[in-house]
Each structure stands twice: as C-alpha cells, then as structure tokens.
A = this chain, B = another copy of it.
C-alpha cells in the first residue's frame, strides 16, 4: 500500500506558506501502516493538477489531495476532479443542510450563491461530512486507486482525516505495522555519533533503517521498521535500542515519539511536585511559549518575566544596577541574578534565565553578537554559562532555547 500526497495552491509554490498539511497527513498515514512515497505540491492550474493526478495514479494505490475546495474563484480542485474522473457535479442535500445550519448559527449573514455551490459534489463521490467547515471531503475510486480530496484549511483537513478518512482506510485495507523510534541527543555532532555507534550500526538487521537528523545542537537518531508481525517488530526494535543507548548515554535525553525535551522536563517536575519560572531577555518569551504550547503546563509552570528592556531586569527582577554596570547586561553574573530574581518573585523551585545579543544590532551590551548567557537556578544553587551561537538571529534564538532546555533537564535529573 503506497500513498502519495498532493497539496494544491500557488501560495506553496511562491513560498508564501509552509505546507504543514502534508506533514500532518504523512504522520497520520504512517500510524495506520500506510507509507507515503511522494509529496507533490502543484499550482492552482487545471493542467498541473490533472498531470499530478495521472502521475500519482501510476505510482500509488492511494492519493490524498488538499486545497482548492473553497468558495472563491481560485478554488478549482472540485471541477478538475470531475474532469479527471469523467464525472459531473450534483447537489448533495445533506451538505446543503449543513451549510445552511452553519450560516444560521455562526455566520449570521445572508447566504451567497458561492456558499450554496459548496454543496455540489461529483456524482460518483462518497461525501465525507466536514463538521468544522463548509467544504466536504470527497472519496473517489478509479480502477484500483483511491483518491481523497480534503479542504486545505488545516483544522478542517485534520478533523476530516481523523474522523472520516483514517477509520475508512483501516477498515478497507489490511495494513502493516510501521514503527519509528527516534532518540533525541543533545551536545554531539552527527559524524562523531555515527563513528561511536558504527559497530552497532553495521550489525543492524536489514529490517531496521537508521537515519541521522542533525539540527543546531541536537541530533535525532531515527530507527524505522515495517511489517505484519507487530510483536516481532517491537521486540527487535527494543533489543537494538537497548544495545544503542549505553553507547550514547551521555547525550541521550529521551524518545521523541513519547515526548519532547520540554515534556520530559514537565513530567519530571509534575512527578516531584516542583515548579518552574523563567526570566527571558534575548529569548523574548520563546521558552515560555514552548512550555505552554502543550496542555498540562499549568501543573508545574508558574510563568515568567520577559525582561527585554534592561530596566525591567532591575525593577521587576531585582537585578542590582551596579552588577549590570560592572559586568554588562550580557554576563553570567546578570543571568544568575535574573534566575534568582524570578525564582524568588514567582516562588518557584527551578528557574531559567537568558540574556544575550541575538543581533543583528548590538543592544545594551558590548558582548559579541551571538553571545548568550544562560543561568539555571535550582532549589540549592545557581550557575550560568556563556555561549557563542553565531551571527544569524533566528539561529541564535533556537540554539538558546535548545541549550536552556538541555541544561535544565540535566539539573532536574541530577537528583
């Protein structure tokens, strides 16, 4: 069972938006045993969409499309679909009733013809009702291939995929089991890790594929396997991982599937009943946003102070003016004072503080561009380290975030 994803929209091809839909669909298909062999993004042009459908049909059993199902003139997926299948559009009473209902309840404006037209569907399609929007999903078959068109608005696509598409696919096909396990490591480069584990890698069974994913101070090692004997796949994978972990024990922090580093930290804090606060200068709220993106953060995360302005460090966090004058605002001394300040202010057990020059312009400090000082306060002590994270602003911010989480994780797991 091979699938292809086609995302439709000029906005992808001119680089105006990042195509996150295909990522979400690929992950969801993998979970039910369907491998994606290609993702193709094409323009809002009939001839391109038809060509992509034809190519996909030649290579894949399942084709999932997103985009171009909306009510405006640039939405042409439905009419193209109809041409590809030699079908015609007919009104669907259930979809029409649903659209009228949404308008009555939420939009409270006059219904326009373009809205009513969203109830037109190909006569041969199985209609997948879109509870979160007006454009229904469409399931069509041509010879042995299945084609599914979904709206491009991410939350509508996701709901349709999870509630309608995945259950139908699981019921229609006998699917294998796909297992990915990704080990998160922080602190070593990929070639050094590869060298360390080369003996182990050369002995890996053919059924397991290894990939290295390096990114700004973090390397992920992904092991993938696929087959119909779920128990065998899981036990083989577990055995290999058991052999691998001791080889990278000093840099391994956990598994990505189960977790992320902020989740590992959160779980440990919840277990031990400890709390966290943040004093962010150069990271400007990025660390807080990372923790609070997930639900459940309120159990351990008290909050933080984004002390962007130097004065905020003094007036809110209680950093001594003289300390800043003596060491400069980007210094390990100030980072430590910020961490202790927010730990006291928010009455937390642990605290992280960041202060640095992310560039491109220098701030209130003479420290080199890319210099970032990170402090960790624990219930017993405080310490700080200075780093050089290069000259590119975005990169400096991400490296600061990753390093702050790495340092905190090490402290929390020390005891």
Contacts and interface: CB of A to CB of B under 8 A. Distances in A.
- Looking at chain A's contact residues, is the secondary structure mostly helix, strand, loop, or mixed? mixed
Contacts of A368: none
Interface in A278-303: 278, 280, 283-289, 291-293, 295-298, 301-303
Interface stretch (A77-85, A236-244, A306-314, A319-327): A306-314
Contact of A72 (B36, B191, B288): B191
Contacts of A308: 288, 292, 297-298, 301-304
A214 interface: yes
A112 interface: yes
B306 A312 contact: no
Interface residues of A, number: 109
Contact of A40 (B35, B39, B155, B212): B39
Interface stretch (A21-29, A88-96, A139-147): A21-29
A37 interface: yes
A412 B183 CA distance: 47
A296 B211 contact: no
A27 B114 CA distance: 31
Nearest to A276: B308
A224 interface: yes
Nearest to A154: B215
12 contacts: A10-B209, A15-B36, A16-B27, A16-B256, A39-B40, A70-B212, A109-B192, A112-B192, A280-B288, A284-B301, A285-B306, A286-B289
A277 B20 CA distance: 32
Interface stretch (A245-253, A359-367, A378-386): A359-367
A182 interface: yes
